[in-house]
Amino acid sequence: MGQTLSAPARAGATAGTVLGAISVCHLLNDMLQSLLPAVYPILKGGFNLSFTQIGMLTLTYQITASLLQPVIGAYTDKRPQPFSLPIGMGFSLLGLVTLAFAPSYAVLLAGAALLGLGSSIFHPESSRIARLASGGKHGLAQSVFQVGGNFGQSLGPLLAAFFVLSHGRSSIAWFAFVALAGMGILGAIGRWYQANGHTRRKPRGAVAGHPTLSRNRVIAALSVLVALIFSKFFYLASFTSYYAFYLMHRFHLGVQTAQIDLFIFMAASAVGTVAGGPIGDRIGRKRVICGSIAGVVPFTLALPYAGLGATIGLSVIIGLVLSSAFSAIVVYAQELMPGRTGMVSGLFFGLAFGMGGIGAAVLGVLADHTSIEYVYSVCSFLPLIGLAAAFLPHVGEQA
């Protein structure tokens, strides 16, 4: 007869299943969200949009996603809402249908806002579930959770290239069935969350400050992290919103080929995300953050002057290195502010969306007034801000 699993082993297996499921849902959520920038070339031609208007679409989506996330996270820290996750996916479903059948630019903006609202509800609580299912390996769990999102984002350009381009903008509505599947999985995760006692309301005054760092040092460290988020996501906005246009304009590629190259960059980013969390668990999150953002500088500086093959190669390196930072940043911030997982996750996911949205809008205006090539020359210097990571204190690790 085989041995019976002990209670801790069964609990560990269950938590591993939950972590895998929430990562899959992150993949589905971010795949749906990534359809918006992936269909920008279609929208630009169909609605005769300028780069500024494309930037405003991104800004509407990402500001909607960013502003509500820390508020929702702070609320659910005190009053966990396990079934908010399928509701968030439902807003994403509505956003997709709105984008598919929008008759005007104003309705496109409304669809982008609905997608952003769905994302703002999804990320804080799902990040908390990943931490609860981590078994103490917080960096690894955050990477597993985030890699689902990164791979989902990378699928958007492929879906646009091989499905939406062939069947037209209205075919976006078919992805509502993907959202429905995600809602079903998230409902099951919510039941696990509730059944395991994670939904109890936290008593007033239960959240304490950091045990060794003063409040001023925590605030200073958070300020550095915000600067790093600005650097990383302003730079990434040049890829997520404009990389296909850059390749089409500079190297005269077709839309489908440019979308495949965008997928290559985003897939590399997903692989880098897998590495960042567990490496941070092993060598320290500060080292990962410093090496990721500052270490990418030589490659970003070279990119605007490279040929087509070198550009694609450099984009892979940039995606691998730069993406490894975010899971380390999120876990580092959670350790700075223990007991505030939802608020911290919402704040940093919100900042990521917000900085990306502002970056897309600003870079769109810059591209209209100069050129798309000039945008990449300017953005190549942004990762230099990553040198500020040297001022972060060591948290939860040996110096």
* pLDDT tens track for 254-265: 988 998 999 899
Cβ neighbours of residue 168 closer than 8 Å, sequence gap 6 or more: none
Q: Is 374 helix (H, G, I), strand (E, B) or coil?
A: helix
Q: Output 350 or 44, whichever has higher pLDDT.
A: 44
Residue 156, in any domain of the structure: yes
Q: Is 100 helix (H, G, I), strand (E, B) or coil?
A: helix
Q: Is residue 220 classed exposed, middle or buried when 0-12, 13-18 and 19+ CB atoms within 10 A define those classes? A: middle
Write down the pLDDT at residue 247: 96
Question: Average pLDDT of 136-144?
Answer: 80
Write down the pLDDT at residue 4: 41
Statement: residue 376 has pLDDT above 90: yes
Over the stretch 93-111, which tens digit does the pLDDT of each residue have? 999 999 999 999 999 999 9
Write down the pLDDT at residue 341: 76
Question: Average pLDDT of 277-288?
Answer: 81
Residue 228, in any domain of the structure: yes
As a whole number of angstroms, the distance between CA 382 and CA 228 comes to 10
As a whole number of angstroms, the distance between CA 354 and CA 232 comes to 12
CB burial string 118-143: b at 16+ within 10 A, e below:
bbbbbbbbbbbbbbbbbeeebbbbbb
Tokens of 293: 């953002």
What amino acid occupies position 326? F
% pLDDT > 90, the chain: 36
Residue 2, in any domain of the structure: no
> Are the CB atoms for 292 and 276 separated by under 8 Å?
yes
Write down the pLDDT at residue 197: 56
pTM over 0.95: no
Write down the pLDDT at residue 338: 79
Give 316's Cβ-side CA count (13 Å radius). Answer: 8
Statement: residue 136 has pLDDT above 80: no
Per-residue confidence band for 14, with pLDDT thresholds at 50, 70 and 90? low
> Are the CB atoms for 347 and 124 separated by under 8 Å?
no
Over the stretch 299-324, which tens digit does the pLDDT of each residue have? 999 999 999 999 999 999 999 999 88
Cα 367 from chain centroid (whole Å) = 24
Statement: residue 3 has pLDDT above 60: no
Question: Average pLDDT of 169-189?
Answer: 93
Residue 58, in any domain of the structure: yes
Number of independent structural domains in the chain: 1
Q: What is the CATH number of the domain that holds 190?
A: 1.20.1250.20
Per-residue confidence band for 396, with pLDDT thresholds at 50, 70 and 90? low
Write down the pLDDT at residue 55: 86
> Are the CB atoms for 322 and 383 separated by under 8 Å?
yes
Write down the pLDDT at residue 146: 81
> What is the domain extent for residue 178?
14-200+212-391
As a whole number of angstroms, the distance between CA 165 and CA 257 comes to 12
- What Cα–Cα distance (Å) separates residue 102 from each residue in 51, 98, 180, 233, 241? 19, 6, 21, 28, 20
Query: For residue 175, what is the DSSP state?
Result: G
Q: Is 297 helix (H, G, I), strand (E, B) or coil?
A: helix
Residue 399, in any domain of the structure: no
% pLDDT > 70, the chain: 91
Tokens of 146: 């985030």
- Mean pLDDT of the residues in the chain: 84
As a whole number of angstroms, the distance between CA 228 and CA 226 comes to 5
Give φ, ψ of 260 to 5 degrees: -65, -40
Write down the pLDDT at residue 9: 39
- What Cα–Cα distance (Å) separates residue 211 from each residue in 132, 239, 287, 337, 396? 21, 40, 22, 10, 10
Q: Is residue 399 classed exposed, middle or buried when 0-12, 13-18 and 19+ CB atoms within 10 A define those classes? A: exposed
Per-residue confidence band for 2, with pLDDT thresholds at 50, 70 and 90? very low
Per-residue confidence band for 8, with pLDDT thresholds at 50, 70 and 90? very low
Task: 286-289: list long-range contacts, CB under 8 Å, 24+ apart.
Answer: 286/332, 286/389, 286/392, 286/393, 286/394, 286/395, 286/397, 288/324, 288/325, 288/328, 289/228, 289/325, 289/328, 289/329, 289/332, 289/386, 289/389, 289/392
Write down the pLDDT at residue 397: 54
Over the stretch 151-161, which tens digit does the pLDDT of each residue have? 888 788 788 88
Q: Is residue 385 classed exposed, middle or buried when 0-12, 13-18 and 19+ CB atoms within 10 A define those classes? A: buried
Write down the pLDDT at residue 207: 47
Statement: residue 276 has pLDDT above 80: no
Tokens of 243: 């990389």
Q: At what angle do helices 176-195 and 7-38 cross, to 10 degrees?
A: 150
Give φ, ψ of 242 to 5 degrees: -130, -5
Write down the pLDDT at residue 76: 77
Residue 281, in any domain of the structure: yes
Statement: residue 173 has pLDDT above 90: yes
Write down the pLDDT at residue 224: 93
Residue 205, in any domain of the structure: no
Residue 284, in any domain of the structure: yes
Per-residue confidence band for 325, with pLDDT thresholds at 50, 70 and 90? confident
